[in-house]
């Protein structure tokens, strides 16, 4: 899916015509990483597992509150990029693990965000 573009119009007074500009991505980079990991983990997509897998994959420390806050925002009624599909008892006796899955809106937002970052990477490749 190519990135959505906006017809900007004339960029400068001497320009002939217009240039397409890439819209801002619908997701921030951490939100995109969370959605990608939810998609990959399937029935194992619960908060702590998402956190540990992302830290291993990216080799970057991520605070646990960023993951849980991100999941809460991504599942909000106005977005619904992920949805809660069930709970499982915690192995250590703690609170139950909430299992999430990617929605169609989440898949579309992830694709649009990936297209945006690919376009930026293409522009920056010769730096």
CATH fold of 26-108 reads Arc Repressor Mutant, subunit A (1.10.10)
Rounded average pLDDT over 106-123:
92
> What is the mean pLDDT of the segment spanning 108-125?
91
Residue whose C-alpha is closest to residue 113's, from 12, 121, 101, 14: 121
Tell me the torsion sign for CA atoms 24, 114, 111, 116: positive
Task: Give the chain's mean pLDDT.
Answer: 86
What's the whole-number mean pLDDT along residues 96-123?
A: 93
Nearest CA-CA partner of 46 in 76, 73, 93, 84 = 84
- How far is the C-alpha of 84 from the C-alpha of 98, rounded, in Å? 7
Q: Do residues 104 and 39 touch, judged by C-beta distance below 8 A?
A: no
Q: What is the pLDDT of residue 107?
A: 96
pLDDT in tens, 11-20: 444 455 565 6
For the chain, percent of residues with pLDDT exceeding 90: 66
Per-residue pLDDT at 8: 52
Beta bridge partners of 100: 84
Higher pLDDT, 92 or 71: 71
In this prediction, residues 83-110 reach a mean pLDDT of: 93
Eight-state DSSP code of residue 1: -
Yes or no: say if 119 and 21 are a contact pair by the CB < 8 Å rule.
no
- Give the pair of three-digit tokens for residue 61: 């420390």
Average confidence (pLDDT) over 44-55: 96
Q: Is the pLDDT of residue 80 over 70?
A: yes
Domain boundaries defined on the chain:
26-108
Residue-wise DSSP of 35-46: HHHHHHHGGG-B
Q: What is the model's pTM?
A: 0.79
Q: Residue 21 above 80 pLDDT? A: no
SS3 103: coil
């Amino acid at each position: 899916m190519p990135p959505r573009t906006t017809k900007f119009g004339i960029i400068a007074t001497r320009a002939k015509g217009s240039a397409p500009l890439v819209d801002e991505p619908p997701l921030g980079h951490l939100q995109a990483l969370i959605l990608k990991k939810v998609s990959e983990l399937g029935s194992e997509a619960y908060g702590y597992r998402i956190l540990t897998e992302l830290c291993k994959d990216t080799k970057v420390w991520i605070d646990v509150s960023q993951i849980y806050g991100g999941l809460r925002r991504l599942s909000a009624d106005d977005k619904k990029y992920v949805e809660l599909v069930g709970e499982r008892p915690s192995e250590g006796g703690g609170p139950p693990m909430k299992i999430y899955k990617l929605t169609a809106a989440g898949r579309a937002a992830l694709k649009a965000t990936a297209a945006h970052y690919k376009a930026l990477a293409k522009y920056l490749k010769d730096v």
